[in-house]
Amino acid sequence: MIKSKPWVLITGANGGIGQALVEEFLSAGYRVIATDIVEINRNNTACVVNVQLDLELFVTDEEYANSFVLDITNITEGLGITSLINNAAIQILSPTEQLTRTQWKISFNVNLSAPFFMVQAFLTCLTRNNGSVVNISSIHATQTKKGFVAYATTKAALSSMTRNLAIDLGDKIRVNAIEPAAVSTQMLKAGFEGKDELFKKLEGFHPIARIAKPVEVAELAVFLCSNKSKFVHGAIISASGGIQGCLSDPT
C-alpha cells in the first residue's frame, strides 16, 4: 500500500545530484518531497511532490519556515518525513579580497544554517519515525583551492555540524554526511565544454581514473537512510574516488 511508504524530503532536487537522489529514493520505495529554489519541471504524482523552497528565506524568515513545515505536514497527512537529505548548496567563487559580506552571508545561510534549521524543524517527526538525515557536504571541507574560501568554509562547518548533531541528538535520529569529489553533473560538464583535454586531466587526477556519477552519491545516501546502516551515526563518508588521499606535486 502506498500509504505505508516513508517520505523523504530532498533539497536542491532540480540539480544533477538532486535528480539522482529523487530517482534512487523512489526506486528504494520512498515517497519524495522534491524541493528547490527554482520551479521543478516535473509533474506531481502520488510518489513525488514538488515544492518550491527558498532556503535563505527559510533561515531568515520564521513565518516562511513555519508555513513550509505546515505544508509538509499536510502533504504527508501528518505522518511527517522519515528521511531528510540536505543537498542544496550555493557555490560562490571569489578571492578573499573581493568576497562581499552579502556573498559570505548567503553562503552560510544556504549551505550551513538551512541544514541545521531543517533538522530542527523536522526533528519531532524524524524522531517519531526513527529517521535519518544525510548532509551532502564536499571534498572542499578538507581539501580546497583558491577562490573557494566561502564555499569550502561552509562545507567544513557542515561536516563538523554533522558530527556535533550526532552527539547532541544521541539516539533520537541518525545524522551522517557525504563528501563527494567531482561529480559529472550537467553543470560541471558545461564548465568543461570544448575543454576535453582539461576534463581528461580532471578524471586522471582521481586514482579511480574518472569522476563520480550523480547516481553513486544518491545510492550512498539511500544506504545511509536504510536499516543496513543502523550503526552508522555521525560519520563523514568520503566519496572521492581516492583523490582525497593524493599528494599533488611537480614530481
By annotation, the residues acting in catalysis are 151
Cβ neighbors of 179 (< 8 A, separation 6 or more) are 137, 138, 139, 141, 142, 155, 159, 236, 237, 238, 239, 240, 244
The tally of CA atoms less than 13 A away on the side-chain side of residue 100 is 4
According to DSSP, residue 39 is labeled P
The one-letter amino acid code at 200 reads K
Provide the sign of the torsion angle of the four alpha carbons 159, 165, 171, 175, taken in this order: negative
Quick one: CA torsion of 213, 217, 222, 223, rounded to 10 degrees? 110
CB atoms within 10 A of CB 64: 15
Residue 88 contacts residue 55 (beta carbons within 8 Å): yes
CB atoms within 10 A of CB 197: 8
Residue type at 165? Answer: L
